[in-house]
Structure 1
Amino acid sequence: MRCSCFGGPRVDSKNGTAAGTLHGIDGDLLQDINHLSYKELRSATDNFHTSNKIGQGGFGTVYKGTLKSGTQVAVKPLSAQSNQGSRSTDIKLDWGRRSAICLGIARGLDFLHKEVVPHIVHRDIKASNILLDKDFNPKIGDFGLAKLFPDNITHISTRIAGTTGYLAPEYALGGQLTMKADVYSFGVLILEIVSGRSSAKPSWGGTQKLLLEWAWQLHEEGKHLELVDPEMGEFPEEEVIRYIKVAFFCTQSAANRRPIMTQVVDMLSRQIQLNDKELTAPGFFQDSDSPSGGPSSTKGSYADSTRYQMSSVPVRITEVTPR
């Protein structure tokens, strides 16, 4: 049996520094990688006890564990009989569950961006990287592309990586990574959760439009509810529309117009009046080599460039001021 393991940084409460297995932000690979034996991982997870299960997918089950050093880890025993992405299709997600999933992911990202030291930018927020437990509580998984982000830097210039349909345009074309790239991806994810549709395949609205493009078109036409998954059942219309508009704030073309995740949590969890008149068209990026989605590349273009807008004017949201 093979296992994959990701360990979070252990924070020194005395000086606020991180210790453990994660160091550095410059390279494409994490430095000081620890090689752990199967026996160590089995011990850390209490022999992969069901009480430590935090998620399951077609590739195997994910367990939380604690190493002897105190480092907390997530461990996935890779199944030789894996169906690679097989999923139960008879589960119906009502609005209560969908909204809770959106809010849970937002809180998780807020934790990564603000509470973990050094802060973490995930770089690959998408539906397939969100694990749900038996109560449908979301867990952010797959930190293979994650970057550490100390307080004293404004951005990281890095190799572009991620998934088409979720990539912030300024990152996809310029390689300038900030936390706002995760915010953008999360905005796309909200639209997927509301609509039950994939962002990767550009075929919505009867045209070759990405999900975000089609959703924006519906917004301009005042037809927000046409985006909603017909299988969702009854739902509170005003709340669903608020979530859709939050998605548009998160996907603004200029990164400085997007809220930080703390503000996103506020907008989703409270009935805040959004000043959606300040919204401008989202930024779109489509990989010209992979029209149906897949890993991103440096070859690309802004989809429907006549709608792409860049602005340095900060967005104003009632009771919430992004920075």
Structure 2
Amino acid sequence: MNPKISDFGMARTFKANQIEANTNRVVGTYGYMAPEYAGQGIFSIKSDVYSFGVLVLEIVSGEKNRGFLHKEHSNNLIGHAWRLHNEGSSLQLVSKCLEESVNMSQVLRSIHVGLLCVQRQPEDRPAMTSVIMMLGSDGQLPTPKKPGFYIGKAKKDSPESSSSYGTCSKNELTITMLNGR
């Protein structure tokens, strides 16, 4: 339960009227990067909202997003939170060490807001000002849509069983050796 943020929100500069841009150099921690940024290098004012949502889910669960793989259904942390939310069992996500010391209605609200922040499409994610208002109020929350980087086993006959939702990734590494003349 000691969150550490070192490269969260890698300082990107926007022009005054700009809300989205593209980069040829993607930097950051993959567990926190928005899908559109990690995949196509497109960053926007909603990229940090995604990262914040991941952080909220990590704090509530006491688990790291990267490296988490549920034993029963092979979902990552975001997929596990999404599944529990859809089953109406979001409280199962809460870390055992938090259960007695927190207001569970606030924790449920935090999970719900976290899921709103990690929605796949940037336009579906709330702005950070809205996130702050949602966390600090008791009003009705919108229903979250499917999150980005939802990784898990899909049923063989489901439309999600295509290769675009697989749990595999291809990692490549390039090493440049400098030799003196």
So what's the TM-score if we normalise by structure 2?
Answer: 0.76
Q: Write out per-residue CA displacement over residues 299-320 of structure 1, whole angstroms, 9 at most, x where no aligned residue.
A: xx85459xxxxxxxxxxxxxxx
The residue that corresponds to 2:81 in the other structure is 215
How far did residue 264 of structure 1 move? 0.4
Over 3 Å counting, the alpha-carbon distance change for 1:160 and 1:224 in structure 2 is: same
* One-letter code aligned to 2:4: S
Instruction: Indicate which of 5, 8, 20 corresponds to 1:155.
Output: 20
Over 3 Å counting, the alpha-carbon distance change for 1:255 and 1:144 in structure 2 is: closer
- Contact preservation (8 Å) 1:172, 1:285: no
* One-letter code aligned to 1:174: Q
The residue that corresponds to 1:255 in the other structure is 122
- Contact preservation (8 Å) 1:167, 1:181: yes
Gaps of 5+ in 1: 1-91, 94-126, 130-140, 287-300, 306-323
- Contact preservation (8 Å) 1:165, 1:285: no
Over 3 Å counting, the alpha-carbon distance change for 1:240 and 1:144 in structure 2 is: closer
- Contact preservation (8 Å) 1:183, 1:261: yes
Q: Write out per-residue CA displacement over residues 121-165 of structure 1, whole angstroms, 9 at most, x where no aligned residue.
A: xxxxxx421xxxxxxxxxxx5579311122222322112121122
In the TM superposition, 1:301-320 aligns within 5 A as: 303=165
- Contact preservation (8 Å) 2:78, 2:150: no
- Contact preservation (8 Å) 1:160, 1:172: yes
Over 3 Å counting, the alpha-carbon distance change for 1:144 and 1:266 in structure 2 is: closer
Q: In the aligned structure 2, how far is the partner of 1:180 from the partner of 1:143? A: 13
Q: In the aligned structure 1, how far is the partner of 2:47 from the partner of 2:150? A: 12
| Identity in percent | 40
Matched, 1:284 2:160: no
Instruction: Indicate which of 246, 265, 271 corresponds to 2:113.
Output: 246
Matched, 1:203 2:39: no
* One-letter code aligned to 2:18: I
Over 3 Å counting, the alpha-carbon distance change for 1:153 and 1:250 in structure 2 is: same
Q: In the aligned structure 2, how far is the partner of 1:302 from the partner of 1:202? A: 20
Q: Matched residue of 1:152: which SS?
A: coil
Over 3 Å counting, the alpha-carbon distance change for 1:142 and 1:163 in structure 2 is: closer
Q: In the aligned structure 2, how far is the partner of 1:144 from the partner of 1:223? A: 31
The Cα RMSD (Å) is 2.4
Q: Write out per-residue CA displacement over residues 5-32 of structure 1, whole angstroms, 9 at most, x where no aligned residue.
A: xxxxxxxxxxxxxxxxxxxxxxxxxxxx
The residue that corresponds to 2:49 in the other structure is 183
Higher relative CO (Cα under 8 Å, sequence separation at least 6) belongs to: 2
Larger Rg: 1
Q: In the aligned structure 1, how far is the partner of 2:9 from the partner of 2:140? A: 37
Q: In the aligned structure 1, how far is the partner of 2:133 from the partner of 2:166? A: 32
Q: In the aligned structure 2, how far is the partner of 1:204 from the partner of 1:236? A: 26
- Contact preservation (8 Å) 1:186, 1:247: yes
Q: In the aligned structure 2, how far is the partner of 1:222 from the partner of 1:304? A: 25
- Contact preservation (8 Å) 1:187, 1:247: yes
The residue that corresponds to 1:272 in the other structure is 139
